[in-house]
Each structure stands twice: as structure tokens, then as C-alpha cells.
């Protein structure tokens, strides 16, 4: 069993294996494009999501074991302090057996297992005293953050649940009339700033959290979005980028954020021609507009495309974008070309009409053909120029 769990973890980090579908709160097409893969896990930027029965945080993993769809138990591994151990017959084990969860969520330091039918759940991990775990009731949907979970209750209210303190705090930015469609977050690792954006069914957004991570929307951004209907949201560590139904692109971020301001020349191009793809690294955004790639943000994380890489990209006919934590990767099926820039710099040509598929992790990527066969690996140590 341990071998299969480890294999599942490694498969999600760097493999093309297509796993079981999970309940999607944020479309996978959008979740892949932010620094955090904002499905039900934290700090993963993979092209394939974990199944909804699995969660991995910074130091542990937890998997719901089922037999023909029926709950059996939860298997955990890794650092016990981060939830990597569940003792048989413990309070947590008994709660899990009672709740019979089928969905698993992971913050940066804890897990939350939920039964979507009974709407009950239980959290454990960093800061939670063993034997004092408790049932959480009336859970409608869950959005994990660094050290807490945003939970939409069955009555439509929004609370922030922090496992380490066991507290539920209401979010003042959300009113009783706000119907939440999905919630996104920026932010770094444990102990660092984090901010949130709720996309409402009306197409409006509500923003809160640490200002340094984009938790305060700028006056300019607020004015630009006044009469707009937001369609998509993307996040770096300290900024947000939104696309509206009228094809307007608006960004904001913390005072020191380089990705929170779209350069005027790129803004003009996007607002007139739109984009076919948007990707985000930790501190930069990249977009494709009319088969041309543009980027802004921190130079070291892909916010600047140097002249050599720009010339190489110009020879791509139909580029596609993906991202690691701090670099962008562009591939082109018609020419077999691949370029990477940011904290890694790579330019390669694999042959014309080679179907290039990238499966990215935080620090590297696998290059595959359309059948999932291995072609190459781009590791963090590679700095080919």
C-alpha cells in the first residue's frame, strides 16, 4: 500500500497519468494557470490534478481509501505534525469513521476531509492537538489557503476555519446577499502574506486579506471593473489578474508587486486583441495574443523575455504556455520548438510536428509526446542558454 501511495504522489508531480476526476470548484483550465494549482491542494502547479480523495500539503499526504465507492479508512504519510499520521482507534480515526468522507482538501499545513452528502468534515494537522479534533458542520464548499480553509456554509455564509486554533471567523467582505461562485488566493508559504478574491455569481468580485499579497484592490482597478462582469481570475504570489466578459484585462497587487501592473503597451494589445492563454509564475504573468507571447513582472521569474528568447519565440507558429514556480515554458507543435525563461533558460528543437506536452511541477517539467511517451526532462539545475 505504501508503495502505491508514493507512486501516486510522484505520478502527480512529474507524470502524464490521468487520474480519477475530482469535484472541481475552480475550472482546471484556470487552476493550472495560477502559481498555486487551486483545486483541492496547495503549492502544486501540475497539468494533472490529484483525485478528489487525495490531499498533499507541504510535509504530508492523506488519501481516502474506498472499496467500490464505500469509505474504508484514511491513509496518511509524512510528517505527523502536518497530519501525516492517524492512529487506529484515536479520536480522529473515530471521527473519520463516523463522517465517512469522500473528499479531501489540503492547506499548507493541514487536511480537511468532507462528506458532501452529510455536509460534515474534520480537520487535522499542524497545531491541532491530538484527541481534540472536532466535527465541522454545514460545509457546502472548501477553498484551502496556506494555514486555513475558506468554507462556504450551506446557508451561503463564508467563514475562515483555522485548524491550529479551531476558530471559525466570518469574512466581513462577504454579505448575506453575495452568492459565491468560486474563491481564489495569492500568497506565499506558511507565515507569509495571503489575499483572497471571491468571484460572485453576479460577475462582481470581493477582495480581502493582506495588502502586500493583493488584498486591497487599487482605485484604478476598482474603477476599471465598475461596470464589468469578471470571467476569469489568475494569481501570482502578490497580485491578481482578471479578465472580463468584455475582454478587458485588469491587474492589481501589493505595493512591491511587479506583476500587479500591466505595462501600457501590453495592456493596449490585450484590450484590443485579447488573449488565447494566460499563465502565472510566482511573480510574473505571461499571455499569448495573436500567437505572440508577452510577459511582465519580476525578471527572475519570467517577467522579462530577453532578445535571444524573443527571437526564438517569434519562430513559433502556434505557441502554448505552461509554467513552473518561477519560469515559463512555451512549446509549438508545428515546429517542435520549446523555450523556457525565468529562473531557467532553455531553447530546444525536438523536430517538426512533434506533439509536445509539458507536465510541470513547482521546479521542473517533463516533455512528452501526444501518446504520453517521455521525450525530455527540464530540471531546476538546467540552465542551457
One pLDDT digit (tens) per residue for the chain, 385 residues: 333 333 444 343 333 333 333 444 566 666 655 656 555 444 554 455 567 898 888 889 999 999 988 999 999 999 999 999 999 999 999 999 999 999 999 898 999 999 999 999 999 999 999 999 999 999 999 999 989 999 999 999 999 999 989 899 999 999 989 999 999 999 888 889 999 999 999 999 999 999 999 999 999 999 999 999 999 999 999 999 999 999 999 999 999 999 999 999 999 999 999 888 899 989 999 999 999 999 999 999 999 999 999 999 999 999 999 888 889 999 998 889 999 999 989 999 997 767 787 777 677 778 888 777 888 888 754 443 3
Strand 337-342 relative to strand 346-349, pairing: antiparallel
- The rounded distance, in Å, linking the Cα atoms of 378 and 363 is 9
Residue 37: per-residue pLDDT: 59
Contact between 39 and 54 under an 8 Å Cβ cutoff? The reply is no
Residue 30: per-residue pLDDT: 63
For the domain covering 283-385, report its CATH number: 2.130.10.30
42 φ/ψ angles, rounded to the nearest 5 degrees: -120, 135
- The rounded distance, in Å, linking the Cα atoms of 222 and 184 is 17
Residue 26: per-residue pLDDT: 64
The secondary structure of residue 303, as a DSSP letter, is T
- The rounded distance, in Å, linking the Cα atoms of 134 and 137 is 10
Contact between 226 and 205 under an 8 Å Cβ cutoff? The reply is no
- On whether the pTM is more than 0.75, the answer is yes
Contact between 119 and 137 under an 8 Å Cβ cutoff? The reply is yes
- Residue spans in the chain of domains classed CATH 2.130.10.30: 283-385
Bridge partners for 110 per DSSP = 125
Contact between 144 and 130 under an 8 Å Cβ cutoff? The reply is no
- The rounded distance, in Å, linking the Cα atoms of 39 and 21 is 11
Contact between 228 and 245 under an 8 Å Cβ cutoff? The reply is yes
Residue 272: enclosing H or E segment and its boundaries?
Answer: helix 264-273
Residue 104: per-residue pLDDT: 92
Residue 52: per-residue pLDDT: 83
Residue 34: per-residue pLDDT: 60
Query: Which residue do the cell numbers 524573443 mark?
Result: 310
Residue 55: enclosing H or E segment and its boundaries?
Answer: strand 54-56
Task: Using CB atoms within 10 Å of the CB of residue 234, give its burial: 0 to 12 exposed, 13 to 18 middle, 19+ buried.
Answer: buried
Contact between 199 and 230 under an 8 Å Cβ cutoff? The reply is yes
Residue 210: C-alpha distances to residues 151, 196, 356 (Å): 19, 9, 39
- The rounded distance, in Å, linking the Cα atoms of 237 and 34 is 9
Residue 56: per-residue pLDDT: 85
**Ramachandran assignment for 348, one of left (phi > 0), alpha (psi -120 to 50 degrees), beta (any other):** beta
Long-range Cβ contact pairs of 177-181 (< 8 A, separation 24 or more): 178/206, 180/141, 180/152, 180/156
Amino acid at each position: 500500500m505504501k508503495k502505491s501511495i508514493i507512486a501516486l504522489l510522484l505520478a502527480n508531480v512529474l507524470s502524464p497519468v490521468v487520474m480519477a476526476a475530482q469535484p472541481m470548484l475552480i475550472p482546471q483550465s484556470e487552476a493550472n494557470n495560477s502559481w498555486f494549482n487551486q483545486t483541492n491542494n496547495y503549492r502544486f502547479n501540475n497539468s494533472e490534478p490529484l483525485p478528489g480523495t487525495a490531499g498533499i500539503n507541504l510535509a504530508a499526504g492523506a488519501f481516502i481509501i474506498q472499496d467500490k465507492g464505500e469509505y474504508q479508512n484514511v491513509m496518511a504519510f509524512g510528517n505527523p505534525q502536518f497530519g501525516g499520521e492517524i492512529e487506529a482507534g484515536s479520536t480522529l480515526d473515530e471521527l473519520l469513521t463516523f463522517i465517512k468522507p469522500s473528499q479531501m482538501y489540503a492547506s499548507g499545513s493541514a487536511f480537511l476531509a468532507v462528506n458532501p452528502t452529510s455536509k460534515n468534515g474534520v480537520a487535522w494537522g499542524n497545531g491541532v492537538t491530538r484527541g481534540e479534533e472536532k466535527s465541522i458542520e454545514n460545509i457546502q464548499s472548501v477553498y484551502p489557503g496556506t494555514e486555513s480553509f475558506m468554507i462556504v456554509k450551506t446557508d451561503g455564509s463564508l467563514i475562515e476555519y483555522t485548524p491550529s486554533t479551531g476558530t471559525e471567523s466570518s469574512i466581513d467582505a462577504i454579505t448575506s446577499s453575495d452568492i459565491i461562485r468560486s474563491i481564489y488566493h495569492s500568497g506565499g508559504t506558511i507565515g507569509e502574506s495571503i489575499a483572497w478574491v471571491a468571484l460572485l455569481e453576479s460577475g462582481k468580485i470581493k477582495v480581502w486579506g493582506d495588502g502586500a499579497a493583493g488584498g486591497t484592490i487599487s482605485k484604478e482597478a476598482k474603477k476599471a471593473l465598475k461596470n464589468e462582469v469578471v470571467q476569469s481570475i489568475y494569481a501570482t504570489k502578490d497580485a491578481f489578474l482578471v479578465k472580463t466578459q468584455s475582454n478587458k484585462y485588469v491587474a492589481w497587487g501589493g505595493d512591491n508587486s511587479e506583476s500587479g501592473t500591466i505595462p501600457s503597451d501590453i495592456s493596449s494589445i490585450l484590450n484590443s486583441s485579447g488573449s488565447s492563454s494566460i499563465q502565472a509564475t510566482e511573480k510574473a504573468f505571461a499571455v499569448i495574443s495573436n500567437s505572440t507571447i508577452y510577459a511582465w513582472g519580476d525578471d527572475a521569474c519570467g517577467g522579462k523575455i530577453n532578445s535571444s528568447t524573443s527571437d526564438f519565440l517569434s519562430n513559433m507558429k502556434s505557441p502554448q504556455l505552461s509554467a513552473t514556480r518561477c519560469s515559463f515554458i512555451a512549446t509549438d507543435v508545428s515546429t517542435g520548438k520549446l523555450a523556457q525563461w525565468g529562473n531557467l533558460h532553455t531553447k530546444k528543437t525536438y523536430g517538426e510536428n512533434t506533439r509536445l506536452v509539458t507536465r510541470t511541477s513547482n521546479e521542473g517539467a517533463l516533455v512528452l509526446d501526444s501518446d504520453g511517451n517521455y521525450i525530455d526532462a527540464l530540471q531546476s539545475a538546467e540552465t542551457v542558454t
